[in-house]
Amino acid sequence: MSETDPMNINERRKYLHKMWGRYRKASKQEKGRLLDEMEAVTGLHRKTLIRTLNGQLSRKKRSRERGRTYGVEIDDAMRVIARSLDYACAERLQPNLVWMAEHLNRHGELGVGKESMQKLERISVSTVKRILKRIGRSEPKLAARKPKRPQSNSLRKRYPMSKIAWDIEEAGHFEVDLVHHCGESANGEFIHTLQMVDVATGWSEIAAIFGRSYRVMTDGFEYLLARLPFPILELHPDNGAEFFNQFLLRFWKKKQPDLLLTRSRPYQKNDNRFVEENNQSLVRAYIGHGRLDTHAQLHILRQLYEKLWLFHNFFQPVMRLQEKEYLTPLQYRRKYDQARTPFERLLEKGCLQERVVRQLITLRDQTNPLILRNQIDALIAHLLSLPVLDHSETVNIFQTLIKEADPSVTLSIEPTLPFR
> Mind listing the pLDDT tens digit for each residue in 230-263?
999 999 999 888 888 888 889 999 999 999 999 9
Tell whether the model's pLDDT for residue 336 goes beyond 80. Answer: yes
413 located within any domain: no
Percentage of residues in the chain with pLDDT exceeding 90? 38
171 located within any domain: yes
What is the C-alpha separation between 209 and 344, in angstroms, rounded? 29
Q: Please say whether the dihedral angle defined by the alpha carbons of residues 278, 280, 286 and 288, taken in this order, is positive or negative.
A: positive
What is the C-alpha separation between 338 and 229, in angstroms, rounded? 24
What is the C-alpha separation between 345 and 323, in angstroms, rounded? 17
Instruction: State whether 101 and 220 are in the same domain.
Output: no
Query: Of 379, 183, 207, nearest to 288 (Cα)?
Result: 183
Instruction: State whether 20 and 160 are in the same domain.
Output: no
Q: Which phi and psi (to 5°) does residue 326 adopt?
A: -80, 120
Report which of residues 419 and 310 the model is more confident about.
310
Instruction: State whether 22 and 119 are in the same domain.
Output: no
* Count of domains for the chain: 3
Contacts with 410 (C-beta within 8 Å, 6 or more apart), sequence order: 306
Query: Of 65, 28, 35, nearest to 52 (Cα)?
Result: 35
104 located within any domain: yes
414 located within any domain: no
What is the C-alpha separation between 221 and 218, in angstroms, rounded? 5
Tell whether the model's pLDDT for residue 173 goes beyond 50. Answer: yes
Q: Which of 111, 143, 175 is the last residue of a domain?
A: 143
Please answer whether residues 405 and 295 qualify as being in contact, where contact means their C-beta atoms are separated by less than 8 angstroms: no
pLDDT at 177: 93
pLDDT, one tens digit per residue, over 355-377 is 999 999 999 999 998 999 999 99
83 located within any domain: yes
pLDDT, one tens digit per residue, over 102-134 is 888 888 888 888 888 898 899 998 999 988 888
Instruction: State whether 88 and 185 are in the same domain.
Output: no
410 located within any domain: no
Instruction: State whether 133 and 162 are in the same domain.
Output: no
Averaged pLDDT, 93-108 = 88
Q: Which phi and psi (to 5°) does residue 335 adopt?
A: -120, 130
Averaged pLDDT, 292-300 = 93
148 located within any domain: no
CB atoms within 10 A of CB 159: 18
CATH number of the domain enclosing 253: 3.30.420.10
Which value, to the nearest 10 degrees, does the dihedral of the CA atoms of residues 25, 27, 30, 32 take?
Answer: 110
60 located within any domain: no
Instruction: State whether 127 and 199 are in the same domain.
Output: no
Report which of residues 380 and 404 the model is more confident about.
380
Q: What is the largest CA-CA distance in the chain?
A: 106
pLDDT at 25: 87
Instruction: State whether 137 and 159 are in the same domain.
Output: no
Element (H, E) at 332: strand 331-336
Tell whether the model's pLDDT for residue 66 goes beyond 90. Answer: no
Instruction: State whether 305 and 325 are in the same domain.
Output: yes
What is the C-alpha separation between 147 and 119, in angstroms, rounded? 40
Q: Around 81, how many Cα atoms within 13 Å sit in the side-chain half-sphere?
A: 28
> At 59, is the pLDDT very low, low, confident or very high (cuts 50, 70, 90)?
low
Instruction: State whether 202 and 92 are in the same domain.
Output: no
- Average predicted confidence (pLDDT) for the chain: 85
Tell whether the model's pLDDT for residue 405 goes beyond 50. Answer: yes
Structural domain harbouring 27: 9-54
Instruction: State whether 133 and 98 are in the same domain.
Output: yes
pLDDT at 261: 92
Instruction: State whether 182 and 325 are in the same domain.
Output: yes
Instruction: State whether 178 and 32 are in the same domain.
Output: no
Predicted TM-score of the model (pTM) = 0.62
pLDDT at 411: 59
Averaged pLDDT, 313-317 = 91
Averaged pLDDT, 266-282 = 89
> At 160, is the pLDDT very low, low, confident or very high (cuts 50, 70, 90)?
confident
